[in-house]
């Protein structure tokens, strides 16, 4: 590229980046097109209620007129211990009964979740009075805030109840309600709801069961602030126990209630939008179709193309990750952090055979690296318990691995997933690959990469011909256990590759690095079977009619990088044959993974076809776990039932269609579907090497792009099918 062309592209890029900002709205959060809304309250938790969260505390909002229901969680409320997995628990519920004199005259109802501000609003008119509610979960305040206003005075007469999901009594005094208790494993928990009203009166009363409740009469407006905590601490030396939760909650509430509502809101917006606003996506021109409720948009989507809904879902995944995974907290579990059951599906746990990993595929490419930190910290916190469990199961090995089901104390259950820790380790490497923080790599990631590599150094079997195979493996959750399963072999290859590159980046551990490289080069390699498929097992026995939701033998294609259409075209073609045989329709998370597979195969049209299948409305009734995936009316992913990995994997798939960087160069629009060719623009995509990419396209071709990085560097870029070396622009 000559210097003149380069700077023209930079200028054009700045212009179109500004255009996205103008189209999407101001920084106050009134972003057009990034709202999920309905014209009636929710009746069902899973399919209709809207989620809010601050990475630690979350709630599902129903938005009822006569009664509001707010079901809430705190991410560390778990049963179990280092041995028993237990389950993630519901925390409690807030019920607000409204004394409306004319409920039959309610009109103009609307509840909306604004993704660009993380504000949940509810508006309606009852009689002649306009009512408004505004809710948000503040990370800086470590609290959820609820505001109730009206256009007339004395509009609110309400009864407010706080219920504990474990049946503890509700206490109250002056202007607050409190619940607290201790689970069977000794974990303490506490939550406090603080009230403040303008006008009218407030009193604490007692119901028939002896629980306290608050009665507000003829107030002009009122506010609630909820904080919740447990005694959990992610440090094994402290026996997983930290500060008393009642003291934690009191401290947060004291700080939060000392601020005015507007101050709390502005601090929340600044914090949230610092993350959310890094990335913007527009597909097509004049694409907004948000004049109908979101559930109707999903229904209409089957007949009316709606690229705005496709990009809305991509941003929804980013919203959900920010809301369920922030520094200092736990990673997003199978349901993020939203759960209304004390016996949830699959424990609402940390499933190690794809699900927790998929939760974080979007973090780095969509510019949310900080949101990956809870996952990395979780991996680190589990190490010592996992070493004990692993060495008891596999005597004589160094390092550690995991079973399929995992909790927050190191406890685990179901089958051993021996390459699970190696898959965890991929996230450790990717965080460095995208952000280039050598201090993090040396002090945090590298020791874990090495000890997991040591596990496989001790565990692998060497055959007489020198080939190394993983013994007694599986292909989750499918087929027999045997040696040399493709899933195991491919993840170990990825681990060894990442370890070698980490050692090279740090210029350390040369001798062991060479040993690991030698092991990698002697691993049993992927095989092509008799009907052209990529074999799932070493023996050629794949069934072309098999439609199982798992496609674990394609790990090397995605999220691994052992197979690609440029470096290993025959293996890529075999992966395509296997993927085609598996079929397009499946559970929600499985379709999300297939989007990523097809994107890596540079088949944007097929990836988009699965994207369209994903945007299918799922109802209730019996479920088939191999079929029936899609989204509910609230756009949460249906496994079914609800699993958040599908939402987060969908966003990763969209990012993968627009940009790839796993092969040592930046590939712009590697899998752009025909449906998106006419026009599009994206800002804030991240490539490996700590490069941020903004670009615009028309008629399927990149028309302008800008690459920025903390320091100016030369990078190799593939643009419209041609390779170029360009200088990045300094951030």
User: Three-class SS string for 132-197?
Assistant: EEEEEEECCCCEEEEEEEECCCCCEEEEEEEEECCCCCCEEECCEEEEEEECCCCCEEEEEEEEEE
Please state the rounded mean pLDDT for residues 418-443.
98
In degrees, rounded to 5, the angle at the alpha carbon of residue 146 between the alpha carbons of residues 189 and 250 is 35
- Coil/strand/helix, residue 448: helix
Q: What are the structure tokens assigned to 457, written together? A: 């150094």
Residue 12 in this model has a pLDDT that exceeds 50: no
What integer pLDDT is reported at residue 546 of this predicted model? 85
Query: Shortest CA distance to 663 belongs to which of 525, 575, 561, 556?
Result: 561
**pLDDT greater than 80 at residue 15:** no
Token couple for 568 = 């290993």
Query: Where are the chain's structural domains?
Result: 42-275
Least confident of 130-139, 157-166, 554-563, 638-647: 638-647
Range with lowest mean pLDDT among 20-34, 524-538, 550-564:
20-34
Average pLDDT over residues 54-60: 98
606-633: per-residue pLDDT in tens? 999 999 999 999 974 444 444 568 999 9
pLDDT digits (tens, 9 = 90+) for 660-685: 999 999 999 999 999 999 999 999 99
Give me the residue label for tokens 């179990």. Answer: 80
Pair of tokens at residue 692: 């941020």
| CA distances for 463 relative to 65, 93, 466, 489, 523, angstroms | 69, 59, 5, 14, 10
List, for residues 711-728, the tens digit of each pLDDT value.
999 999 999 999 999 999
How many other β-carbons are positioned within 10 Å of the β-carbon of residue 207? 11
pLDDT > 60? residue 86: yes
Confidence of residue 10 (pLDDT cuts 50, 70, 90): very low
- Per-residue confidence band for 16, with pLDDT thresholds at 50, 70 and 90: very low
CA distance 390 to 384: 10
Q: How confident is the model at residue 380 (pLDDT cuts 50, 70, 90)?
A: very high
373: nearest Cα among 313, 293, 437: 437
Is it true that the peptide bond before 641 is cis, omega within 30 degrees of 0? Answer: yes
447-456 pLDDT, tens per residue?
A: 999 999 999 9
Q: d(Cα 559, Cα 491) in Å, to the nearest integer?
A: 10
Mean pLDDT of 192-201: 97
> Is residue 659 scored above 60 in pLDDT?
yes
Residue 276 has pLDDT above 90, yes or no: yes
Rounded distance between C-alpha atoms, residue 603 and residue 695, angstroms: 20
Beginning with the edge strand found earlier in the chain, give each strand of the sheet holding 119-126 in spatial order: 35-38, 106-114, 119-126, 129-138, 143-150, 221-230, 188-198, 176-182, 171-173
- As a whole number, the mean pLDDT across the chain is 93
Whether the pLDDT of residue 220 is over 80: the answer is yes
- How confident is the model at residue 32, as a pLDDT? 61
| 528 phi/psi in degrees, rounded to 5 | -105, 130
∠ CA 39-41-44, nearest 5°, is 125
State the CATH class of domain 42-275. mainly beta
Helix ranges (H only) for 277-306 are: 294-301
Integer Cα distance of 297 and 585 in angstroms:
21
What is the structure's pLDDT at 321?
A: 98
Band (pLDDT 50/70/90 cuts) for residue 105 is confident
Give me the pLDDT at residue 628, please: 66
Share of the chain above pLDDT 70, in %: 94
Residue 283 has pLDDT above 70, yes or no: yes
d(CA 449, CA 361): 19
């Amino acid at each position: 590229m000559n210097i003149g062309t380069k700077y023209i592209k930079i200028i054009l890029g700045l212009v179109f980046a500004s255009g996205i900002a103008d189209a999407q709205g101001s920084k106050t959060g009134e972003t057009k097109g990034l709202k999920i809304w309905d014209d009636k309250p929710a009746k069902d938790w899973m399919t209709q209620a809207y989620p809010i969260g601050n990475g630690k505390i979350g709630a599902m909002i129903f938005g009822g007129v006569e009664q509001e229901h707010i079901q809430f969680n705190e991410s560390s409320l778990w049963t179990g211990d280092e041995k028993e997995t237990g389950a993630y628990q519901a925390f409690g519920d807030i019920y607000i009964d409204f004394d409306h004199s004319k409920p039959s005259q309610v009109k103009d109802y609307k509840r909306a979740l604004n993704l660009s501000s993380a504000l949940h609003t509810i508006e309606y008119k009852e009689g002649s009075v306009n009512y408004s509610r505004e809710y948000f979960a503040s990370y800086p305040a470590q609290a959820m805030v609820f505001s109730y206003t009206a256009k007339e005075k004395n509009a609110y007469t309400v009864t407010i109840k706080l219920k504990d999901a474990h049946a503890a009594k509700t206490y109250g005094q002056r202007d607050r309600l409190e619940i607290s208790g201790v689970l069977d494993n000794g974990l303490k928990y506490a939550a406090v709801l603080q009230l403040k009203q303008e006008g009218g009166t407030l009193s604490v009363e007692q119901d028939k069961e002896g629980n306290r409740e608050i009665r507000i009469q003829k107030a002009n407006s009122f506010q609630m602030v909820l904080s919740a905590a447990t005694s959990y601490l992610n440090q094994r030396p402290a026996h997983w126990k930290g500060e008393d939760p009642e003291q934690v909650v009191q401290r947060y509430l004291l700080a939060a209630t000392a601020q005015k509502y507007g101050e709390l809101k502005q601090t929340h917006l600044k914090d949230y939008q610092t993350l959310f606003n890094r990335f913007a996506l527009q597909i097509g021109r004049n694409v907004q179709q948000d004049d109908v409720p979101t559930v109707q948009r999903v229904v209409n989507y089957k007949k009316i193309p709606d690229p705005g809904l496709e990009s809305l879902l991509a941003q929804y995944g980013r919203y959900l990750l920010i809301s369920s995974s922030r520094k200092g907290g736990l990673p997003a579990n199978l349901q993020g952090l939203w759960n209304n059951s004390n016996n949830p599906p699959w424990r609402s746990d940390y499933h190690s055979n794809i699900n927790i990993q998929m939760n974080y595929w979007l973090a780095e490419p969509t510019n949310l690296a900080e949101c990956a930190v809870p996952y990395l910290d979780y991996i680190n916190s589990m190490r010592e318990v996992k070493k004990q469990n692993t060495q008891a199961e596999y005597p004589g090995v160094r390092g550690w691995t995991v079973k399929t089901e995992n909790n927050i104390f190191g406890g685990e259950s179901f089958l051993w997933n021996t390459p699970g820790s190696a898959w965890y380790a991929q996230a450790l490497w990717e965080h460095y690959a995208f952000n280039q923080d050598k201090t993090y790599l040396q002090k945090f990631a590298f020791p874990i990469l090495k000890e997991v590599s040591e596990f496989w150094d001790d565990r692998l079997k060497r055959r007489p011909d020198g080939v190394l195979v993983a013994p007694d493996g599986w292909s989750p959750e499918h087929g027999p256990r045997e040696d040399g399963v493709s899933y195991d072999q491919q993840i170990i290859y990825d681990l060894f590759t990442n370890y070698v590159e980490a050692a090279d980046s740090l210029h350390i551990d040369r001798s062991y690095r060479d040993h690991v490289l030698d092991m990698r080069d002697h691993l049993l390699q992927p095989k092509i079977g008799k009907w052209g498929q990529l074999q799932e097992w070493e023996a050629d026995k794949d069934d072309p009619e098999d439609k199982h939701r798992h496609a674990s033998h394609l790990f090397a294609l995605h999220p691994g990088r052992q197979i690609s259409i440029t470096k290993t075209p025959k293996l890529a073609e075999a992966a395509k044959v296997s993927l085609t045989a598996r079929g397009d329709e499946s559970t929600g998370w499985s379709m999300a993974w297939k989007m990523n597979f097809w994107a890596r195969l540079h088949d944007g049209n097929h990836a988009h076809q699965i994207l369209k299948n994903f945007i299918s409305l799922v109802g209730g009734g019996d479920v088939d776990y191999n079929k029936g995936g899609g989204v509910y009316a609230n756009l949460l992913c249906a496994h079914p039932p609800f699993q958040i990995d599908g939402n987060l994997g969908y966003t990763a798939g969209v990012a993968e269609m627009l940009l790839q960087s796993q092969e040592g160069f930046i590939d712009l629009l590697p899998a752009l579907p025909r449906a998106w060719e006419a026009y599009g623009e994206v800002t804030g995509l991240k490539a490996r090497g700590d490069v941020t990419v903004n670009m615009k396209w028309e008629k399927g071709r990149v028309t302008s792009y800008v690459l920025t990085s903390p320091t100016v560097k030369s990078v190799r870029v593939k643009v419209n099918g041609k390779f170029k070396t360009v200088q990045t622009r300094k951030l």
